[in-house]
A and B are shown apart, each in its own frame.
Chain A
Amino acid sequence: MVSELSPTPGARSVSADTEGPRPPMPVKMVIAGGFGVGKTTTVGAISEIEPLTTEASITSVAAGIDDLSHTPEKMTTTVAMDFGCVTLDPTLKLYLFGTPGQERFGFMWDDLVEGALGGLVIVDTRRLDDCYAAVDYFEHREIPFAVAVNAFDGKVEHDLNDVRWALDVGDHVPLTVFDARERGSVRDALLVVLEHALATAQQ
């Protein structure tokens, strides 16, 4: 079904006729992190629309088990997912999807993350544990990502090197501090991810 190449530069048509307004090419990034870490705030700070909420299905597996074939019980759960978008130009639209956080479960976001340009893992230094799952996921799927410490009060309680050590992310993973409430700060955090993705793509 998703196979035909359309004459449209950018978007790939999956239907025979292409009447109507020509849509922009959609691209997406994923905003991940634990519960209440500021994912929706981040999306809302830069989105041209009020963040919308939809329900996504995620497949949860028991924590610590990576190989699905070894887990007879996998649960599909319906969770809320917040998202927003930015029209970068008439032919290009960036969607930002906040991943549903499931702190005590491993999870599969494949449906959501497939084709994403990159991921931003938001960290609250008071609750570092909450973001391990997201870091593991992006590393496992080899999706370019950066870690962004949300400085809730404009300051960070820990040295960034300590955060990097605690998260056990390699030096190749960009680590930055941002303020989820500030559009410019969110933009710059996303740029950190994209520049990392570009460097990775050019290797």
Chain B
Amino acid sequence: MTVGGGVTKAGTTREVKGEDEMTAGEPSAADDAWGVEHPPSIVRPFLLTAGRIAGGDSLVPTIPIETQVVATDLGLATLDAFVFDQHRDIITICRQPQSLAEIAAKLRMHLNVIRVLADDLRADGQLALYAPQAESARDATVLRRVIDGLRAIPDSRGAIRER
């Protein structure tokens, strides 16, 4: 996969400016934890994405954050061939299906960077992406399944909610 191509005009990087100010992935006891720093990677995100960004006004299609990502056999087979740790890390944690959001959180990378990298790896056949079903939010069958699934969750005392 090519990582060259150069960084595009400076204005396109505004979406993830302040990457150093991003909060860490630590689940914090405080609600809405802000401003915790984490050590920056040696490789800057925009070298990896060749300046491309996702989301906002970007031309890169926005992949839903809950999209499931799974490493393919090809991806796992070529694990040692990646130049950048970030690509290898994505493939490695996607041995088990993960959402884009989980990948971003666990690898402590910006969601929009993960979107671009995951799409690159998909194009190269190293990842499989499963987007959510279109219109599932208005699909009574899906809603009923979610309702039934939630109802089966016991509360803290172990009881199951009455129907």
- Please encode chain A, from 92 to 126, with 1 for each CB lying within 8 Å of some chain B CB and 0 for all others: 11110110110000000001101111100000000
Contact of A40 among B31, B63, B152, B159 (CB under 8 A): B31
User: In the complex, are the beta carbons of B147 and A191 less than 8 A apart?
Assistant: yes
Alpha-carbon distance A182/B147, docked complex (angstroms): 18
Chain B interface size band reads 35 or more
User: In the complex, are the beta carbons of B32 and A80 less than 8 A apart?
Assistant: yes
Contact of A55 among B22, B27, B122 (CB under 8 A): B22
B128 shortest CB reach to chain A, Å: 5
Interface size on A, residues (CB 8 A): 82
Contacts of A94 in B (CB 8 A): 146, 149-150
User: In the complex, are the beta carbons of A18 and B128 less than 8 A apart?
Assistant: yes
Give the dominant DSSP class at A's interface: mixed
- Look across to chain B and name the residue whose beta carbon is closest to the beta carbon of A111: B55
Interface segment out of the listed B1-9, B11-19, B80-88: B11-19
> Which chain A residues in 51-69 approach chain B with CB under 8 Å?
51-57, 59
Do A50 and B27 form a contact, CB below 8 Å, given A14-B131, A20-B71, A76-B14? yes
Contact of B56 among A40, A52, A57 (CB under 8 A): A57
Q: Which 4 A-B pairs have the closest CB atoms?
A: A184-B155, A88-B149, A23-B97, A23-B68
Given contacts A11-B132, A53-B24, A76-B56, list 10 more A-B pairs with CB under 8 A. Answer: A13-B128, A21-B70, A24-B68, A25-B142, A26-B99, A28-B65, A40-B30, A54-B101, A112-B65, A183-B154
A residues at B contact (CB < 8 Å): 1-2, 6, 8, 10-28, 35-41, 44, 46, 50-57, 59, 76, 78-83, 85-86, 88-89, 92-95, 97-98, 100-101, 111-112, 114-118, 143, 182-185, 187-188, 190-191, 194-195, 197-198, 201-202
